[in-house]
Amino acid sequence: MITLENISKTFANDEVKTQALTDVSLTINEGEFIAIMGSSGSGKSTLLNHIGLLENADAGHYWFEGSDLYQMSRSARQKFRASHLGYIFQNFNLIDDLTVYQNIELPLLYQKVAKSERQQRVNEVLERLELTQRQLHRPLQLSGGQQQRVAIARALVTRPRVILADEPTGNLDSRIGAEVMSLLQELNAEGATIVMVTHSPEHAEYCGRVVEMADGTLINNSAKLATAN
Ligand SMILES: Nc1ncnc2c1ncn2[C@@H]1O[C@H](COP(=O)(O)OP(=O)(O)OP(=O)(O)O)[C@@H](O)[C@H]1O
């Protein structure tokens, strides 16, 4: 489904240059649930952001089902990103001034989805994530676990084929973290391809494959956990 080929990325400011990714190649098959692991600063989030088209590589190729995304125009790439990829972040990234409903609706507004369709889709994910009773709340009136469920609902409302999650359980206690992992596992069983950055070996066990990074390179691209499903 996705092939990254020799992706490199350097961040530079006046004083320092950091080579965050060096020649990273990775193939992601449809339906996989992959964990990206590795020590702090090894390049996990940078890799995920490249998979999510949130960052531009300095070099390399990104193929999605045969299309070379780096050859697409910027607007075509943005459109692709909005319709195919869903994001979940450690700190939820919700907009505090909007209600739960409005936060979830936002990606559909960007996609210019008609109002009746928007209502139907938002209501569907509200129900699925048991947030219907909270739809008029604002994010800061909710617990961390509820906020992450809103963020997951927002990621799902566009029905993305690929979900990218950067330490989605990082700010949650272990019980709620396990609930979020079960939900991701359920979405994966329904067909979503998921790539997740995690520091937790326990949560990596929910995944079918673990890729490990060190110093901006993939050092282990094919580890299968014994308990993988
Ligand atoms: N926008 C940026 N500007 C400058 N340097 C950056 C930027 N983003 C990341 N880096 C650097 O690139 C390297 C990889 O960072 P990245 O966030 O990908 O690591 P990580 O493995 O996700 O770390 P952590 O587990 O601590 O979140 C680090 O040295 C980091 O300081």
Q: What is the pLDDT of residues 135-190, one digit of tens each?
A: 999 999 999 999 999 999 999 999 999 999 999 999 889 999 999 999 999 999 99
The fraction of the chain above a pLDDT of 90, given in percent, is 91
Centroid of ligand 1 to alpha carbon of 17 (angstroms): 12
Whose Cα sits closest to atom 26 in ligand 1?
40
With the most atoms of ligand 1 within 8 angstroms of its CB, the residue from 8, 11, 212 to mutate is 11
Calculate mean pLDDT across residues 46-55: 96
Whose Cα sits closest to atom 1 in ligand 1?
11
| Torsions phi, psi for 102 (to 5 deg) | -65, -35
Task: Give the span between the Cα atoms of 207 and 228, in whole angstroms.
Answer: 6
30's tokens: 């449809």
- The DSSP line for 54-69 is SS--SEEEEEETTEEG
**With bands split at pLDDT 50, 70 and 90, how would you rate the model's confidence at 227?**
very low
Residue 52 has pLDDT above 50, yes or no: yes
Q: Are 31 and 191 in contact (CB under 8 A)?
A: yes
- Which residues contact ligand 1 via a Cβ below 6 A? 11, 18, 20, 38, 40-46
Centroid of ligand 1 to alpha carbon of 125 (angstroms): 32
Residue 193 has pLDDT above 50, yes or no: yes
Centroid of ligand 1 to alpha carbon of 19 (angstroms): 9
**With bands split at pLDDT 50, 70 and 90, how would you rate the model's confidence at 225?**
low
Task: Give the span between the Cα atoms of 27 and 1, in whole angstroms.
Answer: 8
Terminal C-alpha separation, the chain: 20
Centroid of ligand 1 to alpha carbon of 40 (angstroms): 8
Residue 109 has pLDDT above 80, yes or no: yes
Q: Are 164 and 88 in contact (CB under 8 A)?
A: yes
With the most atoms of ligand 1 within 8 angstroms of its CB, the residue from 22, 24, 44 to mutate is 44
**With bands split at pLDDT 50, 70 and 90, how would you rate the model's confidence at 224?**
low
Instruction: Output 69-74 pairs: Cβ under 8 A, ≥24 positions apart.
Output: none
Calculate mean pLDDT across residues 11-22: 93
Atom of ligand 1 nearest to the CA of 12: 4
The pLDDT tens digits for 86-96 are 999 999 999 99
Task: Give the span between the Cα atoms of 177 and 169, in whole angstroms.
Answer: 5
Atom of ligand 1 nearest to the CA of 13: 4
Centroid of ligand 1 to alpha carbon of 41 (angstroms): 5
Q: What local confidence, expressed as pLDDT, does residue 222 receive?
A: 66
Compute the radius of gyration of the chain from its Cα atoms: 18
Q: Are 44 and 210 in contact (CB under 8 A)?
A: no
Q: Are 189 and 33 in contact (CB under 8 A)?
A: no
Atom of ligand 1 nearest to the CA of 216: 14
Residue 23 has pLDDT above 90, yes or no: yes
Atom of ligand 1 nearest to the CA of 43: 18
Q: What local confidence, expressed as pLDDT, does residue 223 receive?
A: 59
SS3 116: helix
Q: 60: left (phi > 0), else alpha (psi -120 to 50), else beta? A: left
User: Strand 59-64 to strand 2-12: parallel, antiparallel, or no bridges (unpaired)?
Assistant: antiparallel
Residue 226 has pLDDT above 90, yes or no: no
Task: Give the span between the Cα atoms of 68 and 72, in whole angstroms.
Answer: 7
Calculate mean pLDDT across residues 19-34: 96
